[in-house]
Structure 1
Amino acid sequence: MRKQTLIMIGLFVLSFQFMHAQGSPDYSGGLKVKFNEDGSKYLRIISWAQVQANYNTDDTFDANGNENSALNFNLRRARILMFAQINKDFMILTHFGLNSLNSSQLSPTGKGDGSQIFFHDVWAQYNVATNHTVGGGLHYFNGISRLNSQSTLNMMTLDNNRQSWATIGLSDQFARHLGVFAKGSFDKLQYRVAINDAAVSSLDGRVATPGGDAVYNGRATLGSKDAGKTYAGYFDYNFLDQESNFLPYKVGTYLGGKKVFNVGAGFFLHPKGAVIDTGSEIAPVLEGEDVSIFAVDAFYDTPLGDDGSALTAYAVFQSSDYGKDYLFSAYGTGSMLYGHVGYVFKGDLSKTRFQPYVSYGTHSYDAVSDNRNTLGIGVNAYLSGHNSKLTLEYNNQSFGEVDSSIISLQAMIYL
């Protein structure tokens, strides 16, 4: 009994220390249980939650024609991530939780579709050489751009640029594919490449019509032999401080904790991922069209002195081909230009710090003449770095005749 009590006290003290650690993006805290004296064998657990209050400035109505409340609450994310190694040559990671739970998805017994907890990531990896690793499972080693592998722990904006998660729900499960990957570095050049199975199910459940536009459900329509694999890669050159690539999650802002300037390029390929019908209503002829997405981006984060002030800037150009005149939700064949910039005011690192920011994106589509434009203006209040922060953001999106605005306040804590 005394031994168990001492163990519990030790774990409490350890977790208490990590809870009050500096909340930098390089924070390697959480609850770490060491299995040997030097800590090379361990289990680490990290947990975080993001809760939002959203005010919609436009009048909206439910399926019954009733006007919706302008103010709504949302559990944007609730996650637990665990990774462990008992040998430096291999590791296992497990990540589970839920996303965007709101009152319309709550169920009396917590068993509704919206309230389900599911695995985001489960993979095993092996170090095959110094700075080179291979692995497999349900993973987040994505291609295309930095934002396609964005960490949700340290975003600068309220949330990620939606179009940068370019295949979410189309060929993957919530931006994760099931497959194998390799990652590592050659001096200052970091890389990640992957070969994956495409998901059979897709958010795009439309049926290709004769002479019509492409739909993204190639594997379900054409089968796994012709349309079952996807290929992805991302490469970035670290000109200044070297970023960690131990985990796939890309940092949004270092708050001046590093001096980083990276230029990257990436791709995603899904042969015959999309389908068109070149026949007629009487005799349909289904053909696959290759999905190909390419991007180049740049990320800069630097302290501006010894007073705690810092600058973060990011820009990306993405060219997307989902097939002939593809347009579904936020995604479509065309091009995207997106960027954001933020400034951390000077201040004591141990006290609350403020970071105003602005983001802007424009997305053109082959299928229509209108561009989708998004503007975000916000401010972060870091109560304890990224471990405890508040974000207030005004976001406007215009596309064709739709012009909508939302004001959001988000509270996030991660331990």
Structure 2
Amino acid sequence: MKKELIILLGLSLFALQLGHSQGSPDYTGGLKVKLNEEGSKYFRIISWAQFWTRYQDEVPDDVSNTNFSIRRARILTYAQINKDFLILTHFGLNSLNAENQSPIGTGDRSQLFFHGVWVQYSLGSKHAIGGGLHYWNGISRLNNQSTLNIMTLDNNRQSWATIGLSDQFARHIGIYAKGTIGKLQYRVAINESGTSTLQDGVAPTPDGSAVYAGRRLLGSKDAGKNFAGYFDYNFLDQESNFLPYKVGSYIGGKKIFNVGAGFFYHPKGSVIANTAGELEGEDVSIFAIDAFYDAPIGKNGSAITAYATYQNNDYGKNYTLGQTYETGSMIYSHVGYVIPNDNKKTKFQPYASFNVRSIDAIDDNATTFGLGANAYFSGHNSKLTLEYLNTKYGDNDAQSFLTLQAMIYL
């Protein structure tokens, strides 16, 4: 353990120097190229990368406790010909490591893919419709989380509740509507459900658990579409909904208090087999309520970020997959505090997170506890995160992780 901590410290010092050489506290969001003098026609490019060093406590004898990975490497670009039309393209890779990298960057192991491609048409100044491979999701704030400004090391995994089950990495192909009515923001969508899922080749057994494969096993007529929505009321400062990505922490830059509720509904999304072996569809329904508070407090840049959500998951009878998706319910919360500091460039934010889930399939709970800290050198544009995470699933032994992340986005 001592050796791994020395490695983490060395990487921290390296990333600290990198952080001071990149970004700016007056950052305005990517490279913007004006296509006319007024700037009404433009395109913008945003790029970011997150590098992880992780130590895992319990591993097989022939496996190293420490590993390196590129958690995310992304490029996002969007453009407007005028205020009524927008096109967005987002591509990149996730969790590239020594086990899944390709020898020459091609073939089945290549991880570069589109995370989003959609077009949008404005309906006045406060409403819009669009379509494509989009991220206008339902359920909760965390299911619409931006990966540029997460407060914790990473998003709460169970909040991205459909990844690989009905979508392509939290994005569906479909149509959406979004907008603002007073202080209420809304987003609703009708989507195609993917045929290929994490349970390809898996078939339900008589009186066994449900399998999330409705479109593959029952056909697109009965199980091809899903429906989603999220609604949040902005009591204080109004958040932008120009893009779908919800901010994880404003680190004192705004005063936000929002309460939200959302859903995801996939008719006959899961399939069970009765005692005769006949297949029957089961509706998948997920809903959540949540609250988000982020505001400066006191003087010298101190601020608090707090979030809590309750989520109910019904993936079908006794559904469970990979200790990640389960029929049951979840309570998740996190809180962070920006320590007062006269230095406007550098900020420190310790935080804690907690997740408890009830799991019907094992008639037991799973818990996750996280304790970490962010060091911001130019807001979210250059930061380090160090987090300790402890997880326990039912009566299995607990697993512990210590992860250092270095992140830059431009």
Task: Give matches, 1:164-179, under 5 Å.
Answer: 164-179=159-174
1:216-268 CA distance string (max 9 Å, x none): 01000000000000000000000000000000000000001000000000000
Aligned sequence identity (%): 66
Moved more, 103-112 or 325-334: 103-112
Aligned to 1:313: 306
**Cα shift at 1:115:** 3.5
1:106 Cα deviation after fit: 1.8
Name the residue aligned to 2:229: 233
Distance between the aligned counterparts of 2:39 and 2:344, measured in 1?
Answer: 27
Instruction: Name the TM-score, length of structure 1 as normaliser.
Output: 0.91
2:363 alignment partner in structure 1 = 369
Q: Deviations over 1:353-379 (max 9, x none)?
A: 100000000010111122110011000
- 2:80 aligns with 85
Match of 1:380 among 356, 374, 385: 374
Q: CA RMSD in A?
A: 1.2
Distance 2:110 2:73 in 1: 11
Whether the 8 Å contact between 1:101 and 1:115 is mirrored in structure 2 is: no
Secondary structure of the residue that 2:252 maps to in structure 1? coil
Write the distance in 1 (CA, Å) between the matches of 2:161 and 2:214.
Answer: 16
The CA deviation at 1:58 is 1.1
For residue 402 of structure 1, give the secondary structure of its aligned residue in structure 2: coil
One-letter amino acid of the structure 2 residue matched with residue 88 of structure 1: K
Q: CA deviation at 1:401?
A: 1.3
Inter-partner Cα distance in structure 2 for 1:92 and 1:342: 35
* 1:291 is aligned to 2:294: no
Determine the structure 2 residue equivalent to 1:340: 334
Does the Cα contact within 8 Å between 2:25 and 2:345 map onto a contact in 1? no
Cα contact 2:349–2:374 (8 A) shared by 1: yes
Structure 2 partner of 1:97? 92
Which has the higher mean CA deviation after the structures are superposed, 224-233 or 202-211? Answer: 202-211
Contact 1:77-1:100 at 8 Å conserved across structures: yes
* 3-state DSSP of counterpart to 1:69: coil
Gaps of 5+ in 2: 1-21
- Unmatched segments (≥5 aa) in structure 1: 1-18, 62-66
Aligned to 2:251: 255
State the 1:403 CA deviation. 1.1
The one of 21, 25, 28 aligned to 1:22:
25
Q: CA deviation at 1:40?
A: 1.2
How many residue pairs match? The answer is 386
Q: Return the letter of the residue paired with 2:33.
A: V
Distance in 2 between the 1:131 and 1:143 partners?
A: 19
Q: Is the 8 A contact 1:177 1:198 kept in 2?
A: yes
Q: How does 1:11-410 map to 2 (within 5 A)?
A: 20-22=23-25, 28-60=28-60, 67-205=62-200, 206-280=202-276, 284-329=277-322, 330-348=324-342, 350-399=344-393, 400-410=395-405
SS for the counterpart of 1:194 is: strand
Post-superposition shift, 1:87? 0.9
Q: Equivalent residue of 1:339, what SS?
A: strand
TM-score using structure 2 length: 0.92
Q: In structure 1, the residue corresponding to 2:142 is in which secondary structure?
A: helix
Provide runs of 4+ in structure 1 moved above 6 Å: none
Q: Is the 8 A contact 2:392 2:399 kept in 1?
A: yes
Which residue matches 2:8?
Answer: none
